[in-house]
């Protein structure tokens, strides 16, 4: 599947790891601060009101900076993705 990542977030600041999202496909991905591979992001809901439904990666929780960036961009992210975020 070809994705159209129309949303780019910089949870660590410019020049560091990114979050890219294709709202129409309800899919995205995130990178670690060093730009290393993080994992996928899956969303549910309407394109203008998406909620994070699942993610994959190498840790038990999504990094707090990624959670905060998603929330700041208007995505709903429940506390169980990172209780400290």
Residue-wise DSSP of 17-76: --EEEETTTTEEEEE-TTS-EEEEEEEEEETTEEEEEEE--SSSS--HHHHHHHHHTT-B
17-28 pLDDT, tens per residue?
A: 999 999 999 999
User: Which pTM value belongs to this model?
Assistant: 0.91
- Mean pLDDT for the chain? 93
Place of tokens 């899919």: 27
């Amino acid at each position: 599947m070809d994705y159209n990542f129309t949303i780019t977030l910089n949870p660590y600041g410019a020049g560091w790891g990114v979050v890219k999202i294709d709202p129409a496909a309800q899919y995205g991905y995130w990178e670690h601060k060093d730009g290393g591979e993080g994992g996928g992001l899956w969303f549910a809901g309407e394109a203008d009101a998406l909620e994070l439904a699942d993610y994959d990666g190498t840790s038990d929780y999504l990094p707090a900076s990624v959670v905060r960036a998603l929330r700041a961009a208007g995505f709903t992210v429940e506390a169980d993705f990172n209780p400290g975020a």
